[in-house]
Amino acid sequence: GKPLFRSDNWDGLAYVELSVSYWDGEAGRTNTDSLVDFGLTPVFRLQRRMTNFAPFAEIGVGAHLHTEDGIGDENFDIPFAFGSHFGLGFRFGSTGEYEFVYRFQHLSNASLGDDNPGINFHVIQFGFHF
């Protein structure tokens, strides 16, 4: 889509990410070894104007719903969380159709439950835009 703003070499972009992820762990204290996470996250991205190689940085904050309220030794107290992430990556290819991203992601219930342990992830992602 159209950038929110443009400078000489950079574009400010925004998009909404819908996600579904499966977490596989060990039963631990919660006696739950897996769950499914559904997320809806608005993302802001600052990206170098598209060439054959366009680096970017992004930040996102959104809502997540889990099928369980814990996994392994982590009890989230409620099956709802807020997620935030910071990512660095680049798009490449003749039309920028490929993308490689590293993200640091944090999820927690923002003290909506009695406990708020939170959980962190390091995510490596490869994408294809069509």
For the beta carbon of residue 10, count every other beta carbon within 10 angstroms: 16
Owner of token pair 């970017």 = 56
- Mean pLDDT, range 21-27, rounded to an integer: 90
CA 63 to each of CA 2, 43, 84, 101: distance values in angstroms, whole numbers, following the listed order: 25, 12, 9, 21
Mean pLDDT of the chain: 92
Can you spell out the DSSP letters for 22-43? EEE---GGGT--EEEEEEEEEE
Length, in residues, of the chain: 130
pLDDT exceeds 70 at position 9: yes
pTM, two decimals, is 0.86
pLDDT tens for each residue of 25-78 = 888 888 889 999 999 999 999 999 878 899 999 999 999 999 998 888 888 889
Higher per-residue pLDDT: 1 or 129: 129
